[in-house]
Amino acid sequence: MFLKYSIITAWSVLGFYRGMKAYDYNLQNNYLEKYTYLYSIRFLYGALGFGIYINPFFLFILIPKEIYRIEVDLRGLEDEKKTDYYNYLLY
């Protein structure tokens, strides 16, 4: 039972982290160039990521993408980390 809750907590925290990173990526690449960096909006992106990752409907989309991200990290493909597919939540 403890393991189950630990996995759910870790997965949802990962979603929160991915959401915040998606906001940072959007601002770095001038997709949101008219906006200034706001921590409140970054937090909302994190909450969106949390909601997406905790929702079981998206599980079959997110697991292959996380496997892709793990492979990119393990192989050290730094150019791949700068792509839209790596940085967006569901894209």
| The pLDDT of residue 27 | 85
Rounded to 5°, the CA angle 15-43-3 comes to 30
Single-letter code of the amino acid located at 34 = K
- Full pLDDT tens readout for the chain, 91 residues: 899 999 999 999 999 999 999 999 988 886 666 778 889 999 999 999 999 999 999 999 999 999 999 999 999 999 999 999 999 988 7
Helix (H, G, I), strand (E, B) or coil at 49: helix
d(CA 57, CA 79): 30
**Tell me, what's the pLDDT at 33?**
67
Q: For residues 85 and 23, give the distance between their C-alpha atoms in angstroms, rounded to a whole number.
A: 14
Helices (H) and strands (E) in the chain, counts: 4, 0
State the pLDDT at residue 10: 96
Radius of gyration (C-alpha) of the chain in whole angstroms: 14
Residues of the domain holding 52? 2-87
- Whether the model clears a pTM of 0.75, i.e. scores above it, the answer is yes
Q: Structural domain tally of the chain?
A: 1
